[in-house]
């Protein structure tokens, strides 16, 4: 689909996938997805559909009366939601911790359970608001308590080491080194961009050549919700991007991938999975004990920007957080360090 921008192509594919998933749910859920469509991304809707199907499968497998009355998920009527109790939902939360589905062992941690229960809260709230349900039992269901975790990120020296490793490839295996000469300029550019701007991996792979403005050191990216934003990069990042650009413009892309900035060795737009593997490859060499993903590079940038500026609102704006509380949550540990450092700033008596 060369006539569409990358983010538009992704949306189209997601819509197709969602339609397939909706065919596997009871028909009344189409109203729910139609209702949330203006306010949610297609990717979020897919996650909702997945969560709903798991919940309905749980009811069909674990609830004796429902199991007796219906043969498949699609047969379950909305009246079943009306009949559920808080205890049913709590049993579902217990079920989510560990289950064996088709011989596949699946476990969920607190975050995943919270997300799935949040999906149900949205579902019940919608049907209650539209008077399809007389009561919203999810209002009485408490979300799981999340335990705070340390933010995993690269230290300053590790940032330099990662880019150096991408440039030199000294820690790579013989097999990896065989391809390194062909990809190192691209890899340095990509890592420099992620570490130097904090953009999301989806925003990175969605870049087109026309989105890069070397004159003003800026890139045009498509944020969540389709909003277009210009993000600016340093001269150091510019140099890495320019080196790759000079190489990139000489490459003829595969059909359907015209204009993509970052290309794979097959001359196709680099995928999110490919970038994840690329980051993992270099991170494993320079910091083997840390599980570094592209999102952790984003956290690294946010941390460094906050340490340098102390401006949480700037960090939220650059990272594209719609709610500054999201940013505060991620960088609370740094704020605590700043508060600790403030204790010796004000002197009561000169000594």
Q: Which of 73-77, 116-120, 314-318 shows the lowest per-residue confidence on average (mean pLDDT)? A: 314-318
Confidence of residue 1 (pLDDT cuts 50, 70, 90): very low
Task: Name the H helices within the chain.
Answer: 6-22, 29-36, 42-62, 64-69, 78-83, 86-97, 110-129, 156-168, 174-197, 201-205, 235-248, 272-286, 294-309, 312-319, 324-330, 332-342
Q: Which DSSP letter does residue 292 get?
A: -
Token pair belonging to 223: 């944020």
CA distances from 289 to 66, 227, 282, 285 (A): 47, 36, 13, 10
Confidence of residue 311 (pLDDT cuts 50, 70, 90): confident
b/e 87-108 (16+ beta carbons within 10 angstroms → b): ebbeebbebbeebeeeeeeeeb
- pLDDT value of residue 340: 61
- pLDDT value of residue 348: 64
Token pair belonging to 75: 């047969």
Q: What angle do CA 266, 268, 269 make, to 5 degrees?
A: 140
Token pair belonging to 142: 């408490």
Q: Are 265 and 251 in contact (CB under 8 A)?
A: no
Give the SS3 label for residue 73: helix
CATH number for 156-342 (one of 2.90.10.10, 1.10.443.10, 3.20.20.450, 3.20.20.60): it is: 1.10.443.10
> What's the CA gap between 52 and 61, in Å, rounded?
14
Could you tell me how far CA 90 lies from the centroid of its own chain?
27
Mean predicted confidence (pLDDT) in 199-205 = 94
Q: H/E element holding 212?
A: strand 212-213
For the stretch 12-46, pLDDT in tens is: 999 999 999 999 999 999 999 999 998 888 999 99
Q: What angle do CA 232, 327, 36 make, to 5 degrees?
A: 95
Domain ranges of the chain: 11-140, 156-342
For the stretch 248-278, pLDDT in tens is: 999 999 998 999 999 999 999 999 999 999 9
For the stretch 39-58, pLDDT in tens is: 888 999 999 999 999 999 99
* pLDDT at 335 > cutoff 80: no
Share of the chain above pLDDT 90, in %: 70
What's the pTM? 0.79
């Amino acid at each position: 689909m060369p006539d569409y921008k990358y983010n538009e192509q992704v949306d189209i594919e997601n819509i197709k996938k969602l339609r397939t998933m909706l065919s596997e749910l009871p028909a009344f859920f189409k109203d729910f997805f139609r209702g949330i469509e203006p306010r949610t991304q297609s990717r979020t809707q897919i996650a909702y559909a997945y969560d709903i199907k798991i919940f309905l499968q749980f009811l069909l497998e674990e609830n004796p009366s429902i199991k007796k009355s219906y043969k498949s998920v699609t047969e379950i009527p909305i009246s079943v939601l009306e009949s559920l109790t808080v205890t049913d939902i709590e049993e579902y939360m217990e079920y989510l911790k560990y289950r064996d589905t088709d011989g596949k062992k699946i476990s969920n941690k607190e975050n995943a359970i919270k997300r799935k229960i949040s999906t149900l809260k949205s579902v019940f709230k919608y049907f209650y608001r539209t008077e399809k349900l007389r009561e919203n039992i999810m209002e009485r269901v408490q979300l799981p308590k999340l335990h705070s975790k340390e933010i995993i990120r690269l230290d300053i020296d590790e940032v330099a080491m990662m880019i150096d490793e991408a440039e030199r490839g000294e820690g790579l295996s013989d097999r990896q080194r065989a391809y390194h000469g062909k990809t190192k300029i691209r890899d340095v550019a990509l890592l420099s961009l992620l570490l130097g701007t904090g953009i999301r991996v989806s925003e990175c792979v969605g870049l087109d050549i026309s989105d890069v403005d070397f004159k003003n050191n800026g890139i045009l990216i498509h944020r969540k919700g389709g909003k277009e934003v210009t993000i600016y990069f340093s001269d150091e990042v510019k140099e890495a991007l320019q080196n790759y650009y000079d190489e990139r413009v000489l490459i003829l892309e595969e059909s359907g991938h015209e204009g993509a900035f970052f290309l794979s060795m097959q001359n196709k737009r680099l995928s999110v999975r490919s970038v994840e593997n690329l980051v993992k490859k270099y991170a494993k060499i320079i910091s083997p004990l840390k599980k570094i993903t592209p999102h952790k590079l984003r956290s690294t940038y946010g941390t460094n920007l906050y340490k340098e500026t102390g401006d949480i609102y700037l960090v939220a704006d650059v990272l594209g957080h719609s709610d500054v509380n999201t940013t505060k949550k991620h960088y609370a540990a740094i704020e605590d360090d700043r508060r600790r450092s403030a204790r010796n700033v004000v002197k009561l008596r000169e000594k």
